[in-house]
Amino acid sequence: MTILNRMGLAALSLALTTSVAFAQTEVTWWHAMGGELGTKLEEIVAGYNASQSDYVVTPVYKGSYAETMTAAIAAFRAGEQPDIVQVFEVGTGTMMAAKGAVYPVYQLMADMGADFDPADYLPTVVGYYTDTEGNMLSMPFNSSTPIFYYNKTAFEKAGLDPNTPPATWEDLEAYSKQIIESGAATCGFTTGWISWAQLENLSAWHNQPIGTKENGFGGFDAELTVNGPLQVKHWENLKRWQDEGIFQYGGPGGGADAPAKFYTGECAMYMNSSASRAGVLENAADFEVGFGMLPHYADTPAQNSIIGGATLWVLQGSEEAEYKGVADFFTYLSSPEVQADWHQYSGYLPITQAAYDLGIEQGYYEANPGSDVAIKQMTLNPPTENSKGLRFGNYVQIRDVIDQEFQALLSGDKDAQQALDDLVSRGNQLLRDFEAANQ
Amino acid sequence: MDTKRTVFPSQGLPYLLVAPQIIITLIFFIWPAGQAVKSSFEREDPFGLATSFVGLSHYVRLFQDPAYLASIGRTAVFALAVTVISMGLALILAVAVNRLIRSATTYSTLLLWPYAVSPVVAGILWWFLFNSSTGILPYMLSFFGVDWNHQLNGTHAMILIIVAASWKQISYNFLFFLAGMQSVPQSLNEAAAIDGAGPFKRFWTIVFPLLSPTTFFLLIVNLNYTMFDTFGVIDATTTGGPNQATNILVYKVYTDGYIGLNLGSSSAQSVILMLFVIALTVIQFRYVERRVQY
C-alpha cells in the first residue's frame, strides 16, 4: 500500500515537474477513535503535518478497538500493515507476545536517535505498557481510569451534603437508601464496565491481586486470583443491592444502558471512565454533576486505581524512513502542549508530568472541577504489585467471561463465590491456551 | 432425461461455459473452506508467527466444553423456532392474501417491506421495542405481570432474537408461498368445491400438497438462514448474552475468531457448523424430498 502511495506521489510530482519529488515520507496510523474524539485526533495530526515538511501522517479510522486490532493483525499477515496501530489495553498481552511483529517503542526511539526519556512519562500510565526490565513497549495515547460521578441535585433533595461524595461502599449503601426513601431518585447507583470497574479496579483499589506473577507482568504462566474474599464480598453486595433496588445493571462490556440511567436522573450515582466526563456534563442537563474518587470498603484503605484505554504500537516491516517519521511524530505527540490539549479536551489522562504541570499552570483544573480526580486517584499511592495494572493473554475473551459470570450472579443462577470460582477456572483455561500458543 | 440433453459441437465448450461458476466456487468457497479445515488442526498465534500442528485437539476440546454443547442445543432451539414461526406465519399470510382480489398487490408490497431491512437494523428495531427501560413492549407486558428483562433473563433474550429473526424472514417465505399458491390450478379447487369440499379441506388436500416443493425449498433456505445469516440480528441485540444464552454456533465462531483471535478453535467450529449444514441438507434431500410432489 505504501509502495503504491509512493508511486502515486512520485507520478504526481513528476507530472507537476516540481523539484520536491519524494519530498515527504508517508506514515500510516490506524485508529479506533470515532466521533468527536476522531475529529480531535485528525486535528492533532494536521497540526503535526503542518509543523514540519519531512513526513505526512495519515490517520485511518478502522472501527471499534476490536475491529482495529483484528484489521491490523490481518494486514500484518498479508504484509500490508500500517506503521502505527492503536490497540486497547486488553490487547496488550497479545501485542507483547508478538515479538516478531511489533517494534518496541523504546527501541524505535533509540534506533532513530529521537529525544526520548522514559522518566518524563507518568509511571502509573506507562507502567502498564513496560516490560519487566522497565522498557516502554508502546506509546500511551488515550488512558483513563474509572471515577465516581453523582447527581448533586438529588443529593440535596435527599438531605445529603451535595459536596461530599460517599468515600466508602458502606456510605454509598446508606446514601442510596436515603436517596430512594426520599424519592430523589429511584435507584442508588449504576456502573459502566463491570469487568474493568467492579473487578479489576476494585482489586487494585483495595490492593488485592488480580492474578499471580504480579498480575501477569511476570510471565505467561500467571493464574487469575479474583475469587478472593474482597471480590466475593463485593459481588455478593452487588447482587443484594440489585435485589434491593439500590443498584441497576447497565449491561455487559462498557455497559451501554448505564449512562442513560444516570443522565435521566433514574440513578443518582454512577461509575465510569474519566473520559466520560465531557459526555456526562453535556447530557446531564437537569442537574448538577459532582465528581469523586471510587468508593472503597471501610476496613481497607484505598490504594490507587488502574488505567484502561489504548496505546500506539509500531509494527515491523516498514522502511527506516517511515520509522524516523514515527519517532518524530511520537515526540510531537508527547509534547506538553499537544498532550495537555488532548487531555483537557477528551478527559483522558495526560501521559507526561509536563502536560499535567502545564494544565496546573493554565489554571485548567481550578476552572474545571472534577477534571483532576482521575489523575489524583491514579497517583494516590505509589503502585504496588497489585495495582500496577494487569497483563494477561486472551484477555479480550476473559473480559467476556467476567461479564457472563456476573450475569449468572445477577440472574440468581450462581452465588458470588461460585461465579468467581467459575470465572477463575474458565479464565485460567484461556490463559493456558495463550501460553501454549506463544511458547 | 434424454430429451433435455444438449449436444455441443466441441468437447471443450461445455467446460468453458461452466468454468466461471467453477472458478468462483473454487476461489470463494472451496479454497477458504480448505483453509478453515487446515487451520482447525493447528494452533497459531494471531500474527501467524508460530504455527504448530495439534491434530484433533481443538475438536476434542470443543466437544468436552459444556459451553459449546449448550450452544449446539441453543442453535437447534433457535433454528427450529425461527423456521416454524416464520414459515407458519408466512403461509397464513399467503393464504389470506391469495383470497383477496383487488387489494392483493397492496398487501403483498407491504408484507415484503421487512425483507428490505438489513438484519442489523431489524435487530436494533426490536431491541428498541423490547428495551427494558424505554421500550413499549415491556411496558405492555408489565400489565400481564411479566417483568421483561432480556439483559439478565436468558429466555427473554432468546425470545427477542427469535422474534427479530422470524420477523425479517416472514417476507421472504411469504413471497414464495404466494407465488407457489398462484401456480395451483384454479380448476382443481373449483372441482373440489363442486364435490362439496370446504375451504379447509381444500387447502389441506389440494393446495398444501401442491405447495410442497416450495415448502421443501423454504425449509432448507430457512435453516441455512438461521444458522448463518442471523449473525447481524444477534450482534445488534444481545451479543450472545446474557451469560451465553443466545450464543448460537455462528456467533460463537465470530467471537472466538474475530474478537478473541483464537483462530484454531474458531476454524474447528466453522468446520463443525459446515458439517451440520451439509448433513441437514443431505437428510432433507434424501428423506424429505421423497415425500415432495413435484
What lies within 8 Å, CB to CB, of B196 at 6+ separation is none
CB A262 within 8 A of CB A290: no
Q: pLDDT digits over A318-367, tens only?
A: 999 999 999 999 999 999 999 999 999 888 998 898 999 999 999 999 99
> With respect to CATH, is domain B58-291 assigned 1.10.287.3510?
no
Backbone φ/ψ region at B145: left (φ over 0), alpha (ψ -120 to 50), beta: left
Q: Of the candidates B50, B243, B261, which has its C-beta nearest A404's C-beta?
A: B243
- The answer to whether the Cβ–Cβ distance between A252 and B47 falls below 8 Å is no
Distance of CA A32 to the CA centre of its chain: 13
* Interface residue B133 vs chain A (CB under 8 A): yes
Question: H-helix or E-strand containing A274?
Answer: none
Amino acid B154 reads G
**What's this model's pTM, rounded to 2 decimal places?**
0.84
How many other C-beta atoms lie within 10 A of the C-beta of residue A46? 12
* Interface residue A436 vs chain B (CB under 8 A): yes
Backbone φ/ψ region at A4: left (φ over 0), alpha (ψ -120 to 50), beta: alpha
Average pLDDT over residues A294-306: 95
CB A276 within 8 A of CB A214: no
Q: pLDDT digits over B138-191, tens only?
A: 889 889 888 888 888 899 999 999 999 999 899 999 999 999 988 888 888 889
pLDDT band at B3; cut points 50, 70, 90: low
- The answer to whether the Cβ–Cβ distance between B133 and A257 falls below 8 Å is yes
pLDDT at A13: 45
The sign one gets for the Cα dihedral A264, A270, A276, A281 is positive
Say if residue A404's pLDDT is above 80.
Answer: yes
3-class state of residue A134 by DSSP: coil
pLDDT band at B261; cut points 50, 70, 90: confident
- The answer to whether the Cβ–Cβ distance between B262 and A397 falls below 8 Å is yes
CB B82 within 8 A of CB B226: yes
Residues making up chain B, counted from first to last: 294
* A window 78-137, beta carbon within 8 A of B: 94, 97-101
pLDDT band at B4; cut points 50, 70, 90: low
pLDDT band at A12; cut points 50, 70, 90: very low
| pLDDT, averaged across chain A | 90
* Interface residue A240 vs chain B (CB under 8 A): no
Say if residue B2's pLDDT is above 80.
Answer: no
3-class state of residue A99 by DSSP: coil
Say if residue B284's pLDDT is above 80.
Answer: no
Hey, where are the domains in chain B? Answer: 58-291
Q: pLDDT digits over A71-127, tens only?
A: 999 999 889 999 999 999 888 888 988 888 999 999 999 999 988 888 888 887 888
Per the structure block, which three cell numbers stand in for A264? 435521566
- The answer to whether the Cβ–Cβ distance between A94 and B46 falls below 8 Å is yes
* Interface residue B31 vs chain A (CB under 8 A): no
pLDDT at A133: 82
What lies within 8 Å, CB to CB, of A410 at 6+ separation is A238, A239, A242, A249, B152
Q: Which domains does chain A have, with CATH numbers?
A: 2-144+307-361 (3.40.190.10), 146-305+394-437 (3.40.190.10)
What lies within 8 Å, CB to CB, of A128 at 6+ separation is A89, A92, A140, A143, A306, A307, A388, A389, A391
Q: pLDDT digits over B14-42, tens only?
A: 889 999 999 999 999 999 999 999 999 99
Say if residue B292's pLDDT is above 70.
Answer: no
Average pLDDT over residues B199-221: 88
Rounded Cα distance, B224 and B219, in Å: 9
Q: pLDDT digits over B90-126, tens only?
A: 999 999 998 887 888 888 888 888 888 888 888 888 8
Q: SS in 3 state form for chain B?
A: CHHHCCCCCCCHHHHHHHHHHHHHHHHHHHHHHHHHHHHCCEEECCCCCCEEECCCHHHHHHHHCHHHHHHHHHHHHHHHHHHHHHHHHHHHHHHHHHHCCCCHHHHHHHHHHHHHCCHHHHHHHHHHHHCCCCCHHHHHHHHHCCCCCCCCCHHHHHHHHHHHHHHHHHHHHHHHHHHHHHCCCHHHHHHHHHCCCCHHHHHHHHHHHHCHHHHHHHHHHHHHHHHHHCHHHHHHHCCCCCCCCCCCHHHHHHHHHHHCCCHHHHHHHHHHHHHHHHHHHHHHHHHHHHHCCC
> How many CB pairs (< 8 A) connect A and B?
79
* Interface residue B135 vs chain A (CB under 8 A): no
pLDDT band at B217; cut points 50, 70, 90: confident
pLDDT at B1: 43
Q: Of the candidates B47, B151, B152, which has its C-beta nearest A101's C-beta?
A: B47
| pLDDT, averaged across chain B | 87
Say if residue A425's pLDDT is above 70.
Answer: yes
Say if residue A242's pLDDT is above 90.
Answer: yes
Say if residue A31's pLDDT is above 80.
Answer: yes
pLDDT at A22: 54
Q: SS in 3 state form for A364-412?
A: HHHHCCCCCHHHHHHCCCCCCCCCCCCCCCCHHHHHHHHHHHHHHHHCC
Q: pLDDT digits over A186-230, tens only?
A: 999 999 999 999 999 999 999 999 999 999 988 889 999 999 999
Rounded Cα distance, A58 and A69, in Å: 17
At which residue does the C-alpha cell 463491570 appear? A194
| H and E: helices and strands count for chain A | 21, 11
- The answer to whether the Cβ–Cβ distance between B243 and A253 falls below 8 Å is no
Q: pLDDT digits over B39-51, tens only?
A: 999 988 888 888 8
Angle at B269 between CA B266 and CA B271, to 5 degrees: 115
DSSP state of A157: H
3-class state of residue A231 by DSSP: helix
Amino acid A383 reads P
Lowest-pLDDT range, A78-87, A198-207, A372-381, B4-13? B4-13
